Structure 1
Amino acid sequence: MHYGSRVLDRLAPGAEENAYELVEIRPLTPHFGAVLGGVDLTRPITDALAAELRQALLEWKVIFFRGQTGFTADHQLALSAVWGPPEPNPFFPKTGTAGVSRLAKGAEAVGNKNIWHSDHSFMAAPALGSVLRAVEVPEAGGDTLWADMAAAYDNLPADVRERIDCLTAVHDWEPSWGALMDDDRKAAFRADWPRVEHPVAVRHPRTGRRTLYVNEPFTTRIQGLSDAESRELLDLLVLQARIPEYQVRFHWEPDSIAVWDNIATQHYAINDYYPRRRVMERIAVAGVPLS
């Protein structure tokens, strides 16, 4: 098909665009991803600013801030609280600040997030969003890509959309995080983190917009289909994140911050900077069951 043949719209159907008084919106693509200017996130976030930040994330799905000198883990927690409480990842290393995970990559630990995914989809209530700040970045390389999975859903052929609207899929951490665990450790994690099911096309919990919700590392099969049918359909659906028309790319600089809607997007951390060092700190925002 001709990708992009349907209108790529950053707004949910029926939504109206709001004017912004406290932030400046600088789109990175016409429909997806924007840098927000005129904001100092080291200062207290007022109710009015929080409302505009929430609106911007719903419209643009991933928002970026640059030049946030002096931004600390405490500021990051205050920013993530605009959307909700933190949701720790059970597999991530923690920092000294509760809710913050430190992701340090370089010669001693090669980056391994270079696969399209949605954070915490293996949980019954996946993270609503994530807040990521650059602590140390290479001069070149280490960019991150995001894909708009509502646009991906909208541009599927009509018969595929109709087929997947009533299907659910199994999500599981074991094929990815469990790959380096022994059987005893996997059994211990399995007791706390059983396999879960989510709709293949979820209704976004805040906009109601249909969004494609399967990803390569965590979605293992589609229920109600034979193994061969499940594999064939999953292969088609996970490839949608790789279509450039649905993507935005961000080059990290010191004191940069990204906030993304984890239900509406997938992301991919480009691992092209080895053996240079890249250190990031992330907070995930607690989610809700999807329907």
Structure 2
Amino acid sequence: MAEKNINKGVAGRAQNLSNSRAQGVYETIDIKPATAVIGGIVSGVDMTQPIPDAQVQDLNHALANHNVLFFRDQPELTPEQQIAFARNFGDLHIHPAGPQDLNPEIFVIHTHKDSKINNGGGWHTDVSCDEKPPLGTMLQIHKTPEAGGDTLFANMYAAFDALSDTMKDLLRTCTAMHESEHIYRGRYSDRGVDDTGKSFPSAEHPVVRTHPVSGRECLYVNRAFTTKLVDFEQAESDALLKFLFTHLEQPQFQVRFQWEENSIAFWDNRCTQHLALWDYWPEERKGNRVTINGERPFHQIN
């Protein structure tokens, strides 16, 4: 188990948005809100070419402001183009069930009539079981079903803001365990992954984390990976987590994204949860995903 209260009260790590970016004004991109609460539809970016530093900064801050960015105007990216674009935001994560060949950074999302599971079929934050969970994830869907296959995203800033002050104060003092064996054990046998004798990551994180770019507080527990509140009795932990999961999964915090061929979603794992619907069987849905490494979650006491 990680050291108790790890990364609570860390000062000086959250960056400050510039005034214009904090107000949603950007010099190098055009962005329209997808809803009043979460999501931005972006144009003015060419992912097939290197992009200037100013545009990287605009996208980085737009991601922190909007939680998830949607792109409708991109061609089908090659794996190399998608990797190169994502590397503007950090080093890339290599999934243990991904191909260990020419492009190990690419994780193929592919669900079809013979699939036994749907990746991302419950509310979650990607790989929160890691000591340093991913900053963000970028997915381009190349093949869509005739109908269905939408992805829902939820705003964890808004979920935290909607709590009472008393609940906020309690949660600011809490940490939780994020574990993965119950999810990953045997999950990728169809990809040739043998996990016999394998250990699976777990980590202790603050229940409320500070976003390192926006400086805002957000909830950081999710139904998939979060198993227990540290220093609570099991019954107490179960009851409080059940409340939090039900609270943060409410529709008023969400946007529902309908994929089109070559649509791209780029979401911020630090302040967002998502769920991929599997309502299109026996049709097929396929795309390429890259995930950007992040830092250890912290809560900054103001």
Q: Calculate the TM-score normalised by the size of structure 2.
A: 0.85
Higher deviation after alignment, 281-290 or 110-119: 110-119
Return the letter of the residue paired with 1:174. E
Where in structure 1 are there 5+ consecutive unaligned residues? Answer: 1-11
Partner residue, 1:55: 61
Q: State the alpha-carbon separation in 1 of the partners of residues 38 and 100 from structure 2.
A: 31
Give the 3 Å change call, closer, same or farther, for CA 93–114 of structure 1 in structure 2: farther
In structure 2, the CA distance between the partners of 1:167 and 1:50, relative to structure 1 (3 Å rule), is same
Partner of residue 139 from structure 1, selected from 137, 146, 152: 146
Match of 1:86 in 2: 92
> Residue 189 of structure 1: SS of its match in structure 2?
coil
The number of equivalent residue pairs is 276
Residue type of the partner of 1:189? K
CA shift in 2, pair 1:251/1:122, >3 Å: same
Q: CA deviation at 1:14?
A: 9.4
- Partners of 1:37 and 1:129 in 2: CA distance: 19
Identify the residue that residue 224 of structure 1 maps to in structure 2: 231
Q: Contact 1:91 / 1:177 at 8 angstroms: preserved in 2?
A: no
Q: Which residue of 2 aligns with 1:209?
A: 216
Between the aligned partners of 2:186 and 2:213, the Cα distance in structure 1 is 34
The residue type equivalent to 1:271 in the other structure is W
**What whole-Å deviation, never above 9, does each CA across 1:94-118 have from its counterpart, x for those lacking one?**
6741311001101021424220000
Query: Of 61, 65, 70, which aligns to 1:64?
Result: 70
SS at match of 2:89: coil
Residue of structure 1 in register with 2:5 after alignment: none
In percent, how many aligned pairs have the same letter? 36
Q: Does 1:189 align with 2:225?
A: no
- Distance between the aligned counterparts of 1:26 and 1:95, measured in 2? 38
Check if 1:171 corresponds to 2:143. no
What is the one-letter code of the residue matched to 1:106? H
Match of 2:104 among 98, 109, 116: 98
CA contact (8 A) 1:132 1:258 kept: yes
Deviation at 1:18, TM superposition (A): 4.9
Q: Deviations over 1:29-79 (max 9, x none)?
A: 123101101222212212222122112111111001113114221121122
Question: How large is the RMSD of aligned CA atoms in angstroms?
Answer: 2.1
Provide the residue aligned with 1:276 in structure 2.
283
> After the TM superposition, which residues 31-46 of structure 1 pair with which residues of structure 2 at under 5 Å, given as runs?
31-46=37-52
* Distance in 1 separating the partners of 2:263 and 2:273: 19
Shift of 1:92: 4.5
Inter-partner Cα distance in structure 2 for 1:194 and 1:14: 36
CA distance in 1 between partners of 2:226 and 2:186 (Å): 15
- Match 1:240 to one of 239, 247, 254: 247
Rounded to whole Å, the distance in 1 between the matches of 2:285 and 2:195 is 29
Aligned to 1:176, the other structure's residue is in SS state helix
Q: Aligned partners of 2:137 and 2:178: how far apart in 1?
A: 19
1:235 and 1:284, CA in 2 relative to 1: closer, same or farther beyond 3 A?
Answer: same
2:269 to 250, 255, 262: 262
Question: What whole-Å deviation, never above 9, does each CA across 1:227-264 have from its counterpart, x for those lacking one?
Answer: 10000001011122321111011111111111111010
CA distance in 2, matches of 1:30, 1:101: 31
